[in-house]
Amino acid sequence: MPELPDVVVYIEALQERILGQVLERIRLASPFLLRSVEPAPGEAEGKRVCEFQRVGKRIAIGLENNVWLVLHLMIAGRLHWRKRGSALAGRNALAAFDFASGTLVLTEAGSQRRASLLIVRGRDALSRLDPGGLEVLEADLPAFSSMLTASNHTLKRALTDPHLFSGIGNAYSDEILHRARLSPIALTSRLSAEEIEKLYLAAREILREWIDRLRQERGGGFPEKVTAFRPGMAVHGRYKLPCPICGSKVQRIRYAANETNYCARCQTGGRLLADRALSRLLKEDWPRTLDETD
């Protein structure tokens, strides 16, 4: 799922292409993409793009009549910039937004259709879509600490909760926790002030670094290679590959459709975290430390 750095770079690329442009037409290939009833798509057509806003992991495009197009890409949704009037070709193409300068196409890979388009009227309606998570890059340490410790969760759960922190998901939470050298299952209520500060600084560093990297990767083009698995990442998507800090193999915990990647030596004192499914199956044979896996 595109997270804060990816969404920021998407918005910057869109600003370069459609800010001040008139939205000529909205073409929907899938009726299930549109999750709102009023305003109708026709109220957005013929209106000029005035502004953009990131709402968590959503991209909001503001039009001159105070109507907002809100795109939530979810896991497999992606945006593409095409020639004006490009056809909605292939089963993955869900919608097209035509401008004089070109066409913005929304695709979604896979059979599940989770990406969505909402059309809302006014800033109040837009603000109601915001889960309310803290903007880490705009917050000071006391605000971060207060939000983190307001309830007791594991660090992985807290960082990825959109009601607590805005725009951070599975990928960048792994990277933040590795940079802070903290266990993904450490409880927020048990963190020291020093550990909270380490997490705060790591979160800001990782988000800024990846925004800069993605900007450089994009250059002046449109971001076409948006993925949660990038070669420059330290642990996310790098199961069994060496940790760039200590060289130990990156470990993972799987749960439902998600997984957490971490370095046992850097983050958990060498202790392997129990994968719910495998540890239940293997019971006493489940290794407890890195040494037992050698």
Query: How many C-beta neighbours within 10 Å does residue 73 have?
Result: 23
**Domain membership of residue 93 as a residue range:** 4-127
Euclidean distance between CA atoms 203 and 149, whole angstroms: 16
Co-location of 118 and 46 in the same domain: yes
What's the pLDDT at 228? 87
Residue-by-residue pLDDT tens, the chain, 294 positions: 899 999 999 999 999 999 999 999 999 998 899 999 999 999 999 999 999 999 999 999 999 999 999 999 999 999 999 999 999 988 999 999 999 999 999 999 987 889 999 999 999 999 999 999 999 999 999 999 999 999 999 999 999 999 999 999 999 999 999 999 999 999 999 999 999 999 999 999 999 999 999 999 999 999 998 998 899 999 999 999 999 999 999 999 987 667 899 999 999 999 999 875 544 433 443 344 444 333
Question: Measured between alpha carbons, how far is 18 from 157 in angstroms, rounded to an integer?
Answer: 36
Our count of domains for the chain comes to 2
Q: What is the CATH number of the domain that holds 166?
A: 1.10.8.50
Tell me the residue length of the chain: 294
61 and 158 inside one domain = no
Q: Which two structure tokens, joined as six digits, stand for 156?
A: 């992985």
Q: Are residues 53 and 105 in the same domain?
A: yes
Among 127, 162, 182, identify where a domain stops. Answer: 127
Asked whether residue 9 is domain-assigned, the answer is: yes
Q: State whether 265 and 146 are in the same domain.
A: yes
Output the domain CATH number for residue 13: 3.20.190.10
What are the beta bridge partners of residue 51?
62
- Spell out the residues 6+ positions from residue 226 whose beta carbon is closer than 8 angstroms to its own: 2, 6, 10, 78, 79
Pick left, alpha or beta for residue 81 (phi over 0 → left; psi -120 to 50 → alpha; otherwise beta): beta
Q: Are 67 and 113 part of one and the same domain?
A: yes
* Final residue before a domain boundary, out of 71, 93, 127: 127
